Amino acid sequence: MKKLLKLNEVNFETNLRFNDIVKIAEVYVEEKGEPYEINRETILYDSESYVTKEPVWHIEVISLKVKEKWPDAYISLAISDREGRLVYVQNDHGVVVEK
């Protein structure tokens, strides 16, 4: 099995669904207290995260303030498929910046 899969390539049972992933991302951006955009088109499933060694979902978000200057500087939220919670955040360079 591939390590990274697009949402439409996940053809097996997972604990989280599309709406669950988006809801967790919405909670994250609401807590930031400023407008964010959630990219619902680029959700990925990682069968074994290099950080947590477990399956995670990745969904990209970006602050609208940041997007004005750097339109492709999305951050990636890694959401545990087992625990149903945010486990880490990666910046636009793939570096874990928050756990």
* Confidence (pTM): 0.93
Q: What is the mean pLDDT of residues 12-28?
A: 97
> What is the pLDDT averaged over residues 24-52?
96
Share above pLDDT 90 across residues of the chain, in percent, rounded to a whole number: 94
- Which DSSP string do the residues of the chain spell out, in sequence order? --SEEEGGG--S--S--HHHHHHHHHHHHHHHTS-EEEEEEEEEEESS-TTTSS-EEEEEEEEHHHHHH-TT--EEEEEETTT-SEEEEE-TTS-EEE-
Query: Would you say residue 21 has pLDDT above 70?
Result: yes
Q: Output the pLDDT for position 16.
A: 98
pLDDT band at 85 (very low <50, low <70, confident <90, very high): very high
